[in-house]
Chains A and B, each alone.
Chain A
Amino acid sequence: MTAYDGQAFAAATIEPAVRIRDLRRTFTLKGVLNGIDLDIAPGEFVALLGPSGSGKSTLLRALAGLDYEAFGSGEYQVPDRTSVIFQDARLLPWLNILDNVTLGLGRQVREQGRETLAEVGLAGREGAWPHELSGGEQQRVALARALVRQPELLLADEPFGALDALTRTRMHDLLRRLSEVHDPAVLLVTHDIDEAIVLADRIVMLEGGKLAVDIQVDLPPDPDARAHRSIDLRAELLARLGPSQAA
Chain B
Amino acid sequence: MATLSALATAPPAIRPAARNRFLAHRAARFGILLGPGLLLLYWSVLSFNGWLDPRVLPAPWTAVEAAIELIRDGRLQSNLAVSAGRALAGLALGSSVALALALLSGLTVLGGYVIDGLVQMKRGIPILALIPFMVLWLGIGEGLKISVIAIAVFFPMYIQVHTALRAIDLRFVELAETLRLSRWKFLVRIVLPGTLPGVLTGLRFGTTAAWLALVVVEQLNATSGIGYMVTLARDYAQTDVMLVGLVVYAILGFGSDLIVRALERHVLRWRRSFGR
Contact = CB atoms under 8 A, between A and B. Distances in A.
A92 B175 CA distance: 9
A104 B183 CA distance: 10
Contacts of B178: 64-66, 82-84
Nearest to B192: A94
A88 interface: yes
Among A94, A129, A145, which residue has the most Cβ atoms of chain B within 10 A? A94
Interface residues of A, number: 20
B172 A92 contact: yes
A90 B189 contact: no
A119 to B, nearest CB: 19
Contact of A94 (B175, B177, B196, B272): B196
B171 A93 contact: no
Contacts of A103: 179, 181, 185, 189
Contacts of A129: 270
Nearest to B194: A94
A66 B174 contact: yes
Contacts of B189: 92, 95, 103-104
B72 interface: no
B266 interface: no
A93 B271 contact: yes
A104 B270 contact: no
B55 interface: no
A86 interface: yes
A90 B270 contact: no
Interface in B219-276: 270-272
Contacts of B176: 104
Among B180, B194, B196, which residue has the most Cβ atoms of chain A within 10 A? B180
A188 to B, nearest CB: 16
B9 interface: no
A94 B270 contact: yes
A90 B172 contact: yes
Contacts of A149: 179
23 contacts: A65-B177, A66-B178, A83-B178, A86-B171, A90-B171, A90-B172, A92-B172, A92-B189, A92-B190, A92-B193, A93-B270, A94-B193, A94-B194, A94-B271, A95-B189, A103-B179, A103-B189, A104-B180, A104-B181, A104-B189, A129-B270, A145-B179, A149-B179
Given A92-B175, A94-B271, 6 more contacts: A84-B178, A86-B171, A92-B172, A94-B196, A95-B193, A103-B181
